[in-house]
Amino acid sequence: MVSDFQNPVAGFGVTFKAMFKKRLTEQYPEEKKPTAPRFHGRHQLNRHPDGLEKCVGCELCAWACPADAIYVEGADNTDEERYSPGERYGRVYQINYLRCILCGLCVEACPTRALTMTNEYELADRSRASLIYTKEELLAGLQDGMVDTPHAIYPGMDEQDYYRGLVTEAAPGTTRQAAVSKGETLSDQAAGNEEVQA
């Protein structure tokens, strides 16, 4: 009889004790908790100081990914259309965040430090297609002194100079080259532009 009375009182004791403790609930999304400096969030494709892309389309990140979330398709650079200082660049680069486990193995596999991870962790969206990030969404924005790709490499420099850190800004007078789609020549593109203007 006494135990029947003590059980509810003991339960209320736990409740009253918890009422005066500091609440541990985080008020997300109104108050966002800062992440650790080495937090693994959304990926970013980096650029050289003059704006050329660091990605050389080697596909090592795709091979290292345990979730098969990365798709890379490399292409060759030309003097008329150059995206990276090397022979190749990543023409198509996609990361499927429906599969990605944010482990960072792709970052470790990258030989040119083209791929890093940011602190951005809000990756939810309304459709599955929008969670497949393309190269344009992953590529780092242009900073002061950078010229958007494609453009020529710094005069007198080669690929090794870029990775040694000798190129610190775009060469004076560097301008963006006209991008030509695969199989299309510059003359074809110019003819198409004239038709649009007419």
Residue numbers in the known binding site for [4Fe-4S] cluster are 55, 58, 61, 65, 100, 103, 106, 110
The count of C-alpha atoms lying within 13 angstroms of the C-alpha of 64, restricted to the half-sphere facing its C-beta, is 15
Which tokens belong to 24? 């541990």
Which residue positions form the known binding site? 55, 58, 61, 65, 100, 103, 106, 110
Q: What is the dihedral of CA 174, 165, 49, 60, to 10 degrees?
A: 110
CA 57 to chain centre: 14
CA dihedral (108, 112, 113, 115) positive or negative: negative
According to DSSP, the residues that pair with 72 across neighbouring strands are: 93
